[in-house]
Structure 1
Amino acid sequence: MADQNSSCPEEEVAVYNISLGFTTAVPEWEALLTIFTLTLIIIFTVVGNILVILSVFTHKPLRIVQNFFIVSLAVADMTVAILVLPLNVAYSILGKWIFGIHVCKMWVTSDVMCCTASILNLCAIALDRFWAITDPINYAQKRTLKRVLWMIGGVWVLSLIISSPPLIGWNDWPPPEEFEIESICRLTERRGYVVYSSLGSFFIPLLIMTIVYVEIFIATRRRLRERAQASKIGAYMSRNQTASNDNGKNKKYEHDRESVSSETNHNENPVDSNGKSKEKKSKKNKKNKKQTDTNNDKAAYLKPMLVHEDSFTDNAEGSSSSHRKSSVPVEAGKENDDTPEEQTEIKPTTPLKDATIVATVAETQNQKSKAVKIQEPPPPKKTGIVYQFIEEKQRISLSKERRAARTLGIIMGVFVVCWLPFFLMYVIKPFCASCCPSNRLINFITWLGYINSALNPIIYTIFNLDFRRAFKKLLGLKA
């Protein structure tokens, strides 16, 4: 809001002739630096808020009702940059008002209305977030486009009500003839209006925003603690579930191994007292019978090879005759020690029996290895999937809420830093005759408030991924 000191003695304004062809109230270097800096702020404010508006209307994920508050805020900040800031730059550099009384009234009224609308939009955004957090289910149904537009309309109507009283006489502006002589355009310093406008434009919204954001911060902290506790419980239950599943699988695996071992031990004793295979005896089902027949076929096929292999092995190892005798079963009833090696009689059926036994044992061993391989526990799967999913969601949610809490702190911090100095000066001056800040200090404090309109697009969008993507798309940058 533009302001010049009126109750204090008039500060003598110096006159400097600069190379641009007009006189200024500051040296040329200061004038050029001021013009350059403030012009950058104006351009940045306009471009930033235009990007916000276009992003909401062109980027589908951003076309949600609550973002219309952001659009309204961007409109208010953009009107500040277009209607207020350029004239303020000229007034600050020249040190006098040269645009006439009617433009002055329009400028001052626009100043108050647009700055108030910006602040009240911040307040509306805070209330919207507060209701969405404290009563999410009911407010989700109430947050309709009609309701949001009514709230936005209320913000602008209230801003007009706060800014318009000076136009209908609640002011201390000089008469038109004196105005042309003094060439000073300023906000009214009528004490009643100063209190009225400062309360409506800043202090009441500040109080509401402070209460709302403190409540949001407390609710966020409480939820962070609750979700952190829930995450710990989920992790504990997940570990217990994993351990329980692993123990169950290990027990099942041991049981299967014992079963296979028992079956193998039973099958590894294939010869009874009559030299016949026990597997042939134990025809419990058709499958075992078929398996036995298959073994006999294999034995007939393998007979020459097995005999040759045994002979080759014995000769190669230089085994004793007793070892060779024991490797080939003799006829029942004959003793190996009493029968010389060269006189050992082998019945024609002996090789077949031997081959059958060897093949049966080999097949049994093969089945054993297959059974063990089948019964081996599969690679450990992820257990406690539900709890791990919940834990991951909790972690993401906690991260988002921490960022949200940090954003709230930035919003309040920037808002207070930008506007509190101006409104303190605005309220104190009419009630303190000895408080006479310099024009440079007044301009600095005033522009500090204006800078808030340039920072709002950053604060309310830079922490949002969809806004960043929309900005890059609009600027033609690689997403």
Structure 2
Amino acid sequence: MDDIPILDDCDQSINFSHSSIFGEIDVPEWEAYFTIITLSFIILVTIVGNILVVLSVFTYKPLRIVQNFFIVSLAIADLTVAILVMPLNVVYNILGKWVFGIHICKMWLTSDVLCCTASILNLCAIALDRFWAITDPINYAQKRTVKRVLSQIAGVWVLSLIISSPPLIGWNDWPGPEEFQIQQTCKLTERKGYVVYSALGSFFIPLIIMTIVYLEIFIATRRRLRERAKASKLNVSRSKNQATSQFNKDTQDRESVSSETNHNEQPQIETLSAKTKPKKVKRKRKMENSTPSNDCSLKPILVHEDSVTDNPDSSSSRKNSHICEMIDTGVQSSIECWPDSPRTSNKSKSEKSDSFKKPGVVYQFIEEKQKISLSKERRAARTLGIIMGVFVFCWLPFFLMYVFFPFCSSCCPPSKRLVNFITWLGYINSVLNPIIYTIFNLDFRRAFRKLLGMRI
């Protein structure tokens, strides 16, 4: 979008009193240089940032998912703003007059409305996509096909064209070629009907939709946070009860096993001695005597013991000793025994699974998962607030002025510097979009580093 209409009864005359390498300009030369450097930097960042977004989606495999096509469409819209709209606006602001002719002026204004509207409507499409994904995740996951997403993106651009094209077919108050050569101003039409039509389609209706959608998402997120927090508390309490019960049961089992072992120890050893070599029995008794004083009894050792007879194909005739360790998870204390061999550091998946099934470990795992999930939900809610805040901050001032002044014949618009500042504030949204939608995404950050040749 470009300059607010300047009314004839207000003193907005241009005073070309400053000479520079650009000719006669209506701003001091230092201000012209400062403006050029600042706005050129904004243009460069916009171009680079949005190109990185597009390349990231197509070159980084984790980002090649269908919903990221909306991000690509948004980046393309912002990229066209930076290429087709911003540079000509810089020249127009510095010179204070339009020097490119009426036809370029018409195409520039149309591109301005088209690209900025497409950027805003893409933000709206992203909001709706997230809303459907949250409120109806199972069904929408099936409906969110490449064809459907591309159709929605095409609808965004067609709607943007419908909003921006009417001035080209007559809904305008642009001056004729001769009058244009005298005025040398290029500004949006002041037709009240088109002002209302374009403002509603380009900003106010999308704003209402985004506000409702993000409010629903925020409420759903807060509700989920409360539910997850309540579930976390219940899991903690349940896990503690299970851990206590399991610990008491294990204690009783160990006492029972210990009593049975003490009662039947000698017959068992005698029976075993008849089937094995004497040095084998001696080895077992040595292991029993060396067992730590943590109630790690003979029975668990015999169960986990490896021998040549257990594995006929084994090339080793060495019997593995065992190690017992007291495990304290903060909820319960338990004893775990495992073979003391080189394979200890490379436990099989079944051994790791058995270890993981201990109540204390399960409790810790559930609690950690709950913390991670709650943290993600809070970050998502905070991101939604930033998205809406930046969007409203950038575009609301411009559209309020765009709608207000054509309906107030006695009002004089603010100074050209303030108008230009508010106009560029809207353009800056195209700079911030790739930052907002990617800085909170780890995959995008990794893709950016990869494209820029930085270490991931």
TM-score class, shorter-chain normalisation, is 0.7 to 0.9
State the AA in 2 paired with 1:412.
Answer: M
Q: Counterpart of 1:460 in 2: which secondary structure? A: helix
Q: Does structure 2 conserve the Cα–Cα contact (< 8 Å) formed by 1:170 and 1:190?
A: yes
Q: Counterpart of 1:461 in 2: which secondary structure? A: helix
Q: Does structure 1 conserve the Cα–Cα contact (< 8 Å) formed by 2:114 and 2:161?
A: yes
Kindly name which structure, 1 or 2, has the bigger radius of gyration based on alpha carbons.
1
Could you tell me how far 1:399 is from its partner in structure 2?
1.3
Question: Superposed, which structure 2 residues align to 1:289-308 within 5 Å?
Answer: none
Question: Superposed, which structure 2 residues align to 1:279-318 within 5 Å?
Answer: 287=271
Q: Counterpart of 1:23 in 2: which secondary structure? A: strand
* Cα RMSD for the two superposed structures: 2.8
Q: Does structure 2 conserve the Cα–Cα contact (< 8 Å) formed by 1:4 and 1:439?
A: no
State the AA in 1 paired with 2:297.
Answer: I
Residues 231, 46 of structure 1: CA spacing in aligned structure 2 closer, same or farther, 3 A cutoff?
A: same
Unpaired runs of at least 5, structure 2: 301-323, 326-333, 335-354
Rounded Cα–Cα distance in structure 2 between residues aligned with 1:203 and 1:368: 81
Rounded Cα–Cα distance in structure 1 between residues aligned with 2:222 and 2:116: 32
Residues 370, 86 of structure 1: CA spacing in aligned structure 2 closer, same or farther, 3 A cutoff?
A: closer
Could you tell me how far 1:375 is from its partner in structure 2?
4.2
Residues 413, 286 of structure 1: CA spacing in aligned structure 2 closer, same or farther, 3 A cutoff?
A: closer
Q: Does structure 1 conserve the Cα–Cα contact (< 8 Å) formed by 2:42 and 2:431?
A: yes
Q: Which position in structure 2 is the counterpart of 1:342?
A: none
Q: Does structure 2 conserve the Cα–Cα contact (< 8 Å) formed by 1:253 and 1:375?
A: no
- 1:128 maps to 2:112: no
Could you tell me how far 1:7 is from its partner in structure 2?
2.0
Aligned residue among 405, 408, 423 for 2:399: 423
Q: Which position in structure 2 is the counterpart of 1:48?
A: 49
Could you tell me how far 1:15 is from its partner in structure 2?
2.0
Greater mean deviation of Cα atoms: 243-252 or 186-195: 243-252
Q: Does structure 2 conserve the Cα–Cα contact (< 8 Å) formed by 1:66 and 1:148?
A: yes
Q: Counterpart of 2:297 in 1: which secondary structure? A: helix
Q: Which position in structure 2 is the counterpart of 1:443?
A: 420
Aligned residue among 427, 437, 443 for 1:466: 443
Unpaired runs of at least 5, structure 1: 268-282, 295-361
Q: Does structure 2 conserve the Cα–Cα contact (< 8 Å) formed by 1:235 and 1:387?
A: yes
Rounded Cα–Cα distance in structure 1 between residues aligned with 2:288 and 2:83: 88
Q: Does structure 2 conserve the Cα–Cα contact (< 8 Å) formed by 1:113 and 1:162?
A: yes
Rounded Cα–Cα distance in structure 1 between residues aligned with 2:32 and 2:221: 47
Rounded Cα–Cα distance in structure 2 between residues aligned with 1:63 and 1:370: 59
Could you tell me how far 1:228 is from its partner in structure 2?
1.2
State the AA in 2 paired with 1:431.
Answer: F
State the AA in 1 paired with 2:390.
Answer: V
Q: Counterpart of 2:188 in 1: which secondary structure? A: coil
Residues 104, 253 of structure 1: CA spacing in aligned structure 2 closer, same or farther, 3 A cutoff?
A: same
Between the two proteins, the alignment pairs up a number of residues equal to: 395
Q: Does structure 2 conserve the Cα–Cα contact (< 8 Å) formed by 1:130 and 1:216?
A: yes
Residues 373, 403 of structure 1: CA spacing in aligned structure 2 closer, same or farther, 3 A cutoff?
A: closer
Q: Which position in structure 1 is the counterpart of 2:40?
A: 39
Q: Which position in structure 2 is the counterpart of 1:321?
A: none
Could you tell me how far 1:368 is from its partner in structure 2?
7.8
Q: Does structure 1 conserve the Cα–Cα contact (< 8 Å) formed by 2:261 and 2:299?
A: no
Aligned residue among 366, 369, 389 for 1:393: 369
Rounded Cα–Cα distance in structure 2 between residues aligned with 1:63 and 1:2: 36
Q: Does structure 2 conserve the Cα–Cα contact (< 8 Å) formed by 1:108 and 1:187?
A: yes
Question: Superposed, which structure 2 residues align to 1:329-408 within 5 Å?
Answer: 369=289, 374-375=297-298, 378-379=324-325, 380=334, 383-384=358-359, 385-408=361-384
Q: Which position in structure 2 is the counterpart of 1:169?
A: 170
Question: Superposed, which structure 2 residues align to 1:92-241 within 5 Å?
Answer: 92-241=93-242
Could you tell me how far 1:237 is from its partner in structure 2?
1.6
Residues 249, 109 of structure 1: CA spacing in aligned structure 2 closer, same or farther, 3 A cutoff?
A: same
Q: Counterpart of 1:39 in 2: which secondary structure? A: helix
